[in-house]
Amino acid sequence: MTRVDPSRETAFALLRAVREDEAYANLAMPLLLRARKLTGRDAGFATELGYGTLRWQGWYDAVLQSCITRNWASVEAGLKDVLRLGCHQLLAMRVPSHAAVDSSCELARRNGNPGSATGRAGFVNAVLRKVAARTPEEWVEQLGVAGDDVESLATRLSHPAWIIRAFQDALGDRRDEVEFLLEADNEPARPTLVARPGRLSPEELRALPQVQPTRWSPIGAVLVDGTPESLNVVHSGLVGVQDEGSQLMALALAGATVDHEEHAWLDMCAGPGGKAALLAGIAAERGLELVAVEQHHHRAVLVDQAVDGAANVEVIVGDATTAPWGRRRFDRVLVDAPCTGLGALRRRPEARWRKSPMDLSSLGPLQRALLNAAADATRPGGVIAYVTCSPHLAETEFVVGDVVGKRDDLAVEDARTLLPGVEDLEDGPFVRLWPHRHGTDGMFLAVLRKR
């Protein structure tokens, strides 16, 4: 009997956790690796197999449907997981066909009704041998998805069609770049670190042998070897794990001009605390207070941990649309609004399959309410940064346009001036960062000044 190695078992467990428990892969996998004591190459194999299978699920489902006579939707969920894992090994990893097929058959035997183990393994064997008979390029031709139409791109590059259309709309005149964007989404992103001001200098961070400087952020570094959890500076809180685009959003707000004497800043949607920790350090260097608001208690705990008891930070658990900070007014306000997260698909492999256009109907009113609350909380002459990790027009330009159009106390400023050195920012006044252009998550930034 073929033995299933712990790496494949772990990848299978990840898919099951994502499917049954709605787990986040980037949170569940480290826990699984620790519980199963996987390190080094075994951990790397499990991570690539699990994340890659989730990322390419749409493409593998199309291939697998062509290899069976019944409807793919009728296949038992656990068998789908086994077959998708087998597909990823055959079509995207350098795994010999016999090893991918045999180990998948054994996974099918071990997981499911024992009485049907032989039949399950036989089904997996037959299907995956059909998959292995063609190269990825041949499968593209076989399925007729070599074109640049939305449906072909959706299948070949494993993104829901509605997300591709949203990307095209946001790219505007450069919508022909969408294929490059989808390809960037399918490339795993390396962890990015940030030197938290007042705790560690950027020079000290970049002196670590495991890192390289970030391209745009003056305080960041890309981890090229190992995991963030293996670094003492991360454990001690001197360094945070934060995408370069997110670093730039916080730095932009901190770099805006405020002519009057400042007293306090506000982070309205602070969880899990990455931007709050960065802003807290900068505010402390200027002798200023930061108020960080988070609606959910468990995320507020993460904010507390991120700011590490900084004396200049007050963490409030509350709904930011109801002004839980009272009558206080602030000089700089960050609205890192809840959104679909379509700009961070490369870091969240399962997210593209969980989101739907229906999410926009609930998020839109909340985003507008938050931006209006931010305007009310800002002192005249102060600035607001409205930020999302989604490029969708319904979460970005339309929100800003609706709020500003109904108020006479807000002016939109050119956000590009606050990201010195960052190239290819288009015409403004908004900033969009893109994975395929900038190597960051897809971020949107609008800067508003209170009249």
Could you list the active site residues? 389
CB of 334 closer than 8 Å to CB of 250: yes
Angstrom distance (rounded) from CA 14 to CA 349? 12
Closest CA to 373 of 326, 313, 315: 326
Task: State the residue for tokens 């489902």.
Answer: 61
Find the helix or strand (DSSP H, E) in which 109 lies: helix 97-110
Closest CA to 329 of 366, 277, 383: 383
Q: Kind of pairing, strands 378-388 and 330-336?
A: parallel
Count of positions (residues) in the chain: 451
CB of 269 closer than 8 Å to CB of 293: yes
Task: State the residue for tokens 């350098």.
Answer: 94
98, 109, 154, 239, 403 from 397: Cα distances, Å: 51, 51, 25, 33, 10
Angstrom distance (rounded) from CA 291 to CA 354? 32
Task: State the residue for tokens 């480290």.
Answer: 30
